[in-house]
Amino acid sequence: MDASTLPDDLSQRLDAWLATSLERAEPLAFSDIRKGVRSLSALYVEGRGRGNIAPRSVEGAARRAALSTYYGVLHFLTAHHAAACLAPGALGQPAELVDLGCGGGAAGAGVATALSTLPRVLGFDRSGWAIGEARRTYAAFGLRGRTRRGRLPQGLPRLAEGQLAVLGWVANELTAEERNRLLTEIERGLDRGAQLMLLEPLSGRVSPWWETVSTRLGARGVESALVKASLPLPDWIQRMDRAAGLDHRELGARVLSGPVR
């Protein structure tokens, strides 16, 4: 099957997950969620100078609805496609996927459902709202999930053999010091036999540190790639794209993954 096409059962789960998210957002009008989408877009592009991006991203009902009904779907599709594009068995069959800075759980679920065997999932995030969303997301995709609340890099679960750490659009939210400390702990986990899949936006402006980190993790067998694809999008996403003046006809990410076990 083409990696850009979801299996029928997974496509149905995606549709049901989106429908449930939209039902929970019903007190808000389409225009309210559009404002949330635009507000988040501005936060991640122009609002970086103020810092504290992660907690600011979940401020207000409109931003939260935009995350659960729009950006979450895009992250799920991108992460699933990126994982599916890896060489067969590249990430093996990890017993547990550790979804670091999980947000609503979209990236972790996207990667988990692309693996040959569904792993257990541990979602880790500082936001209580995000933890609740992640639980619903994991359940929606048939994943055995549990969650833990904490802030990266503090409280990072100890990574070891049999675990796959997923960082979906998280590293760019950290300060340079936080990112360095997180990478140090991830390196220790890799040395103990864990694996990593890190996804970031294509824009080099968002992650100017990418080449440095790629070289650093490459010493441990982690490989860098750019993934781009035109993926089928739900009607809701296409409508919101047009209304918000955004274009996701092609999805993509910078990806660090491995090492191959």
∠ CA 152-260-102, nearest 5°, is: 25
**What local confidence, expressed as pLDDT, does residue 154 receive?**
87
Q: Which neighbouring-strand residues pair with 166?
A: 99, 197
- Percentage of residues of the chain with pLDDT beyond 70: 97
Q: Residue 46: pLDDT above 50?
A: yes
Segment 130-171, tens digit of pLDDT: 999 999 999 999 999 999 999 999 889 999 999 999 999 999
CATH numbers and ranges of domains, the chain: 8-258 (3.40.50.150)
Mean pLDDT of 61-72: 98
| Mean predicted confidence (pLDDT) in 214-241 | 97
pLDDT at 87: 76
213-225 per-residue burial string, b: 16 or more CB within 10 A, e: under 16: bbebbeeeebbbe
Residues paired with residue 168 on neighbouring β-strands, in sequence order: 199
Q: Distance (Å, rounded) from C-alpha 49 to C-alpha 57? A: 14
Bridge partners of 147, per DSSP, are 123
